Amino acid sequence: MATLAERMVGAARLDAGTYEEVEADTGATGQAALVVIISSICLAIGAQLGAGLLGLVLMSVFRLIGWYVWALVTYLIGARLMPTTRTEADVGQLLRTLGFASTPGVLAVFAVIPGLGSVVNVVVGIWMLVAMVIAVRQALDYDSTARAVGVVVIGFILYLVVAALAGMVISGLGGAPAPAPATP
């Protein structure tokens, strides 16, 4: 069994074998969550959020929730709506593979270097997207990378819709004006 660091390097190298390994290792879900947290912290530092420790913790919590939602949406689309005859997957397999697909986000910390921020963010974003496609392809046992791209694109659109709706609900709960006092 590979170490966390070895798995992160394999995931960053887009090695299909690494994604197969974490897919099969039910004990790797905690490692995948740790990768999401590390990536979240590096992305926040690279974005120079300056929100302090509480901001880093909140970003990590929100990214962990997003990771779970993303895995669930991807499972529903890929394993239920667009399966192949070979597709055998569960949400846990997608959690593990998609968690490790966030590994390139660690390099977002280099976006703090003056003049490199935009380039680093574009490279890291594309790299993470490609890693997600490989993670989906391996977790859903697809022969076709194009099918995995389709699942990722459809899933991302649905994820954005869910996130927008959640944002509207949250802002509606916190931003509702107080009722006017009753007049006698």
- Mean pLDDT score across all residues of the chain: 89
Per-residue DSSP letter, 1 = -
Residue 85 lies in a domain: yes
53 is in which domain, residue-wise? 4-173
Q: Is residue 183 part of a domain?
A: no
pLDDT tier, 169 (very low <50, low <70, confident <90, very high otherwise): confident
- Which value, to the nearest 10 degrees, does the dihedral of the CA atoms of residues 7, 157, 123, 68 take? -30
DSSP letter at 178?
P
pTM for the full predicted model = 0.86
Mean pLDDT of 62-82: 93
Q: Is residue 40 part of a domain?
A: yes
pLDDT per position as a tens digit, 56-68 = 888 888 889 989 9
> Does residue 184 fall inside a structural domain?
no
Q: Is 179 inside a domain boundary?
A: no
Task: Quote the number of domains for the chain.
Answer: 1
**Pair of tokens at residue 38:** 């590390």
- For residue 134, being part of any structural domain is answered with yes
pLDDT over 70 at 26, yes or no: yes
In this structure, is residue 16 part of a structural domain? yes
The residue type of 135 is A
Any domain includes 180: no
